[in-house]
Amino acid sequence: MKNHIVCIASEFKGNEFFKECKAVGWNVTLVTREKLRDEAWAWTSLNAVKTVSNHATTEDYVRTVANVADSQPISRVVGIDEFDVLTAAKTREHLQLKGMSNSHALRFRDKLRMRNVAVEAKIACPEFSALFNQNEINEYLKTVAPPWIIKPRTEVSAFGIRKCVCKEQVWQVLNELDARNTWRDHPSQFLIEEFIEGKVFHIDSVVESGKVIASGVSQYGTAPLEVAHQGGVFTTATLPYKSKERKELERLNKKLLKGFGYERGVSHAEFLRSERNGKFYLLEVAARVGGAYIANVLEAASGLNLWREWARLETATEEKPYQLPKLRRNHAGLALALAKDEKPDTSAYTDKEIYYRVAKLRHVGLIFQSEKHERVEELLNQYTQKFTHDFLDSAPTKERHDDIN
């Protein structure tokens, strides 16, 4: 009987992962939400598709996968989206399968736990505090200078983040959350940390046997938090290979993932470099492929497709161990924005460095590839202006993942 991998995907993504699993001879079962049933999944790579309700709980997913196991033994369970990481971990625990436990996976999902583990590993973080005790909160507000960020412990991106400039504003936010009288909005589900001005970098890695064996290091243009709250064009570009920033981030990333006990898979970590002191601070780390076409940018630069490599890691066996492909050292960057048109037409853009055109409704985006870092930066600056003039639209910031449709 063939090996069997179950992929939990609460969002429409992961087709390259499914294709690679199928290509190496595994059976693939997709478990997703009912409203995503008819999306453009890689149907020829899927042996079966099971659906749960659009508002399914973790237990609903676990029960569905357990029912799949009734007819065919399962070798692996993976969570494709950030919000599927814990669900997959709990499913593995229930079925007694190999892989990260729920407790271990929380290091990559609960930002308070993430901060505590990072501090233990001697990775610098913004000064932070839990929101459990009023006296401790007041002491924090006395000792750490504003502004501060109040953020959900288990959301992603900019969902639910509030910036506060005074003590009164902090308590206003916490009292408002408490008044909602729901466990998800309880103040203890949030943390507070200092807001540090600076540039944000991300490093995306392949990890095998506890070691980072490949990574791509990039810098955002405007910080994701600013784009989410103020609109505009989102950009990211790979760093020069010999730059001091790249070497320092590679060192920090290895130290970080070792401290988190990450054994196998892909990761996406974000660091902020303070304008005040030039020091790098951890913003977050995730045990999954980075969003916003970051995987495509890394592939354009190096040939490394994180979705495919993740699938190869998950399906590797003693007989057929994982092997890293040969990589190139080009540069790449992405410009991406919300568009006022449903299907933006970018055919008038003809620069030879255009590597990939984003085909997503109400979005305009291009990925550029060049042997020269300076050319990628030049194109990103040009297309930020072009997108702003030709296509730009904006949408209100979502407070939480459930608001997306």
105 inside domain: no
Do 329 and 366 belong together in one domain?
A: yes
The closest alpha carbon to 337, from 231, 181, 217, 205, belongs to 231
User: Which of 161, 178, 194 is a domain's end point?
Assistant: 194
- Rounded to the nearest angstrom, the gap between the alpha carbon of residue 2 and the centroid of all alpha carbons in its chain is 31
Break the chain down into helix, strand, coil percent, rounded to 5.
Answer: 35, 25, 40
Residue 268's CATH number: 3.30.470.20
Do 207 and 64 belong together in one domain?
A: no
115 inside domain: no
Q: Express each pLDDT in 22-65 by its tens digit.
A: 999 999 999 999 999 999 999 999 999 999 999 999 999 999 99
Q: Name the domain count of the chain.
A: 3
User: At 232, is the pLDDT very low, low, confident or very high (cuts 50, 70, 90)?
Assistant: confident
380 inside domain: yes
- Work out the percent of the chain whose per-residue pLDDT is above 90: 88
Segment 231-254 shows an average pLDDT of 95
Provide the 8-state DSSP code for 339.
B
Average confidence score pLDDT of the chain: 93
CB atoms within 10 A of CB 139: 12
Do 69 and 184 belong together in one domain?
A: no
Q: Using CA atoms, how far apart are residues 376 and 374, in angstroms rounded to an integer?
A: 5
114 inside domain: no
395 inside domain: yes
Do 73 and 162 belong together in one domain?
A: no
- Rounded to the nearest angstrom, the gap between the alpha carbon of residue 295 and the centroid of all alpha carbons in its chain is 10
75 inside domain: yes
CB atoms within 10 A of CB 322: 16
Residue 223 has pLDDT above 80, yes or no: no
Do 45 and 151 belong together in one domain?
A: no
- Report CA-CA distances (Å) from 36 to 31, 33, 48, 398: 10, 5, 14, 20
Q: Which residue has the tokens 């730009």?
A: 392
**What is the pLDDT, as a whole number, of residue 155?**
80
User: Which range of residues forms the domain containing residue 354?
Assistant: 198-403
54 inside domain: yes
Q: Two tokens at 124?
A: 């610098």
**What is the pLDDT, as a whole number, of residue 318?**
87
Q: What's the pTM?
A: 0.90
Do 178 and 216 belong together in one domain?
A: no
23 inside domain: yes
pLDDT: is 186 or 225 the higher one? 186
User: At 227, is the pLDDT very low, low, confident or very high (cuts 50, 70, 90)?
Assistant: low
User: Which of 194, 220, 244 is a domain's end point?
Assistant: 194
Provide the 8-state DSSP code for 44.
G
Do 74 and 136 belong together in one domain?
A: no
Q: Express each pLDDT in 358-401 by its tens digit.
A: 999 999 999 999 999 999 999 999 999 999 999 986 555 555 55
Do 202 and 182 belong together in one domain?
A: no
User: At 2, is the pLDDT very low, low, confident or very high (cuts 50, 70, 90)?
Assistant: confident
Residue 49's CATH number: 3.40.50.20
Residue 12 has pLDDT above 90, yes or no: yes
Residue 110 has pLDDT above 50, yes or no: yes
| Angle subtended by helix axes 15-23 and 306-315, to nearest 10 | 40
Do 190 and 216 belong together in one domain?
A: no
User: Which of 49, 82, 99 is a domain's end point?
Assistant: 99
Do 187 and 218 belong together in one domain?
A: no
Do 291 and 165 belong together in one domain?
A: no
Residue 154's CATH number: 3.30.1490.20
Do 347 and 382 belong together in one domain?
A: yes
